[in-house]
Homo-oligomer: A and B are copies of this chain.
Amino acid sequence: MTTSERLIESTRELLWERGYVGTSPKAILERAGAGQGSMYHHFKGKPDLALAAIRRTAEELRAGAAGVLHGPGTPYERIEAYLTREREVLRGCPIGRLTMDPDVVASEELREPVDETLDWLREQLAGIVEEGKEQGQFGPELDGEAIAATVVATVQGGYVLARASGSPADFDAGVRGLLGLLAPRSAV
């Protein structure tokens, strides 16, 4: 792996663990096994390196979610697969958590990939809900975009519950509640 790659990967890990404000260039360099000079040669500074790291994490998240959302199964099953997907719950969402970082939200550039990712996720889910409505699996009264927002919010909020208690089961409880509400009548 090149030094530049190692810097990006180390930054991704630290952003996930400690957020942007809690991550120092020094910590990144130690983890990457590089000196100050390397970082400032490849990147303009901390924000520039963080941007590269966030963009890569966003891409990875989208790719992973797309695999589940556009996989096999009925609309309900695909939403269920997304919600019950294996996650490192106690680590939180590597993208969603950045919204609680004051310096990320304050920077148009750093916030952009975060916004784009969550937006993309909601679009995919909204499409699946509409598909389910056409197939009669979901009632016509459901608002695809609103349900999509609820699904994403339940996941993001599930991380909050789990990290507060230290127990992944609290994430699962939120998901279980939502799936119960979404379940096609015939399946209840």
A residues neighboring B (CB under 8 Å): 17-19, 21-22, 92, 96-97, 99-103, 105, 111, 114-115, 118-119, 122, 141-143, 145-161, 163-166, 170, 173-178, 180-182, 188
Number of chain copies forming the complex: 2
- 8 A-B Cβ contacts within 8 A? A99-B164, A114-B164, A118-B161, A122-B161, A147-B177, A150-B177, A152-B157, A156-B160
Q: Report whether A102 and B161 are in contact in the complex, using a CB–CB cutoff of 8 Å.
A: no
Q: Report whether B141 and A180 are in contact in the complex, using a CB–CB cutoff of 8 Å.
A: yes
Query: How far apart are A32's CB and chain B's nearest CB, in angstroms?
Result: 19
Task: Determine the residue in chain B with the shortest Cβ distance to A188.
Answer: B141
Q: Which B residues touch A158, using CB under 8 A?
A: 149, 153, 157
Task: Determine the residue in chain B with the shortest Cβ distance to A112.
Answer: B164
Q: Report whether B165 and A161 are in contact in the complex, using a CB–CB cutoff of 8 Å.
A: no
Q: Report whether A161 and B154 are in contact in the complex, using a CB–CB cutoff of 8 Å.
A: no
